[in-house]
Amino acid sequence: MKARIGNGISRRCRLARAGGLALLGLCLMQGRASAQADIHFSQFYETSILRNPALTGVFASDYKVGVYYRNQWSTISHPFVTTLASGEGRVSVSSTSEDFFSFGLLGYTDKAGSIDQRITGVYPAINYNKSMNVDKNSYLSVGFTGGHMQYSFDPSKATFNNQFMGGKFDPTLPSLENIPNAKISFWDLGAGVNYNSSAGIDNNISYVIGVSGYHFTQPKFSYYQSEDIKQNMRLNGNAAASFNVTEDVMMQLQGNVAFQGAYREIMGGGLVTWTRFISEGKSFALTGGAFYRMRDAVIPVVRVKYNSMSLGVSYDVNTSTLKDASKMNGGVEITLFHQGDFTNKGMAKKMVCPKF
């Protein structure tokens, strides 16, 4: 199993039950290369702030709000359950400028394992979008996010080697363990740059490309308060392009790569969207496609959109070395988003953004 980015412990720590806290402590003290990595999503294009803060507000409307749910590995272990909520918006710098500010707020909680390893995070973001070429709808964006994270677990649900007698677990036996602090809290800092523009006849091809980084402060990351264990920095690259195949059909390509310590995640794929305009101001769109997370999963995706509401569902078909145990089952993700325009459209609607 490729380690799931997000639970602060290595792959063998997540699947272990005996040894409880002692094993957890060992996993968190393995060193910078293998101790921790960030959460990830298969519908990664819906989590701009965690992907690149410079993508905040880069979409074809004035605001976007939504929720996210992910359930993974329920067939082989205690499931990893992640919930997320986010909101983004944008406003013009002034009535005479093509530049605009965008802003957002994202919060999530992630729970996994028999001792309820939990991660919570809150990330506000701000992004300045500088117009580079009005005819090409080109913008250079620089975004920042500064959030607060907390890792925790439930010591009462841990089991220890000393509590096993004759191959049976006896909770009345002393653990003989020095229970550490069950929480780690720290402030985080991330930043990114992104460029979006258009090309082709009548600018019918939109594209974006960007890079970002997180955990620049490399905060202390140990339940045992070890000064030597730090949260690894994460570097991320994003790219996407969209174009119309016919008047009603649009093709979208998305790619993402992330590096954090010894972990590497490369994802890519595409979506095809068919749109039908029902009446003035009302439309229906059906999207289908697939993504591939290298050496880990094939991910089919379906999304239905009616007017401003969209519902997306994806499923990870596990292809990693864990596929025999998982029976190729991975994780299901469900997203629900609403996009719209401000009532007072005066300044915001003069801007045209990529069709993503």
User: In sequence order, which residues have a C-beta less than 8 Å from that of residue 26 and are 6 or more positions away?
Assistant: 13
Residue-range domain boundaries for the chain: 11-156+180-350
Gap between the Cα atoms of 236 and 264, Å rounded: 10
What's phi and psi for 261, nearest 5 deg?
Answer: 60, -130
Q: Spell out the per-residue pLDDT of the chain, length 356, in tens.
A: 333 333 333 333 333 333 344 334 434 433 333 345 788 899 999 999 999 999 999 988 899 999 999 998 666 667 789 999 999 999 999 888 899 999 999 999 998 877 888 999 999 999 999 999 988 999 999 999 999 999 998 887 888 888 888 888 888 888 877 777 889 899 999 999 999 999 988 888 999 999 999 999 998 888 877 778 888 999 999 999 999 999 999 999 999 999 999 899 999 999 999 999 988 778 999 999 999 999 989 999 999 999 999 999 999 998 876 655 555 567 899 999 999 988 655 444 445 555 56
What's phi and psi for 349, nearest 5 deg?
Answer: -80, 0
The pTM is what? 0.83
| Token pair in block for residue 270 | 């595409």
The alpha carbon torsion through 262, 115, 154, 171 (nearest 10 deg) reads: -140
- Please tell me the predicted confidence (pLDDT) of residue 32: 36
- Please tell me the predicted confidence (pLDDT) of residue 7: 32
User: In sequence order, which residues have a C-beta less than 8 Å from that of residue 288 and are 6 or more positions away?
Assistant: 271, 272, 300, 301, 302, 303
Gap between the Cα atoms of 226 and 224, Å rounded: 5
- Please tell me the predicted confidence (pLDDT) of residue 44: 95
| Token pair in block for residue 67 | 């929720």
Nearest to 285 by CA among 323, 311, 263, 319: 311
Rg (CA), the chain: 22
- Please tell me the predicted confidence (pLDDT) of residue 328: 56
Gap between the Cα atoms of 180 and 203, Å rounded: 58
- Please tell me the predicted confidence (pLDDT) of residue 11: 33
DSSP string, 95-163: TT-S-EEEEEEEEEEEEETTTTEEEEEEEEEEEEEEEEETTTTEEEEEEEEEEEEEEE--GGG---GGG
Separate counts of helices (H) and strands (E) for the chain: 4, 16
Number of Cβ atoms within 10 Å of the Cβ of 279: 6
Q: Is 22 helix (H, G, I), strand (E, B) or coil?
A: helix
Gap between the Cα atoms of 75 and 328, Å rounded: 10
- Please tell me the predicted confidence (pLDDT) of residue 157: 81
**In whole angstroms, how far apart are CA 93 and each of 69, 100, 222, 350?**
34, 5, 43, 12
Homologous superfamily of 11-156+180-350: monomeric porin ompg (2.40.160.40)
- Please tell me the predicted confidence (pLDDT) of residue 94: 87
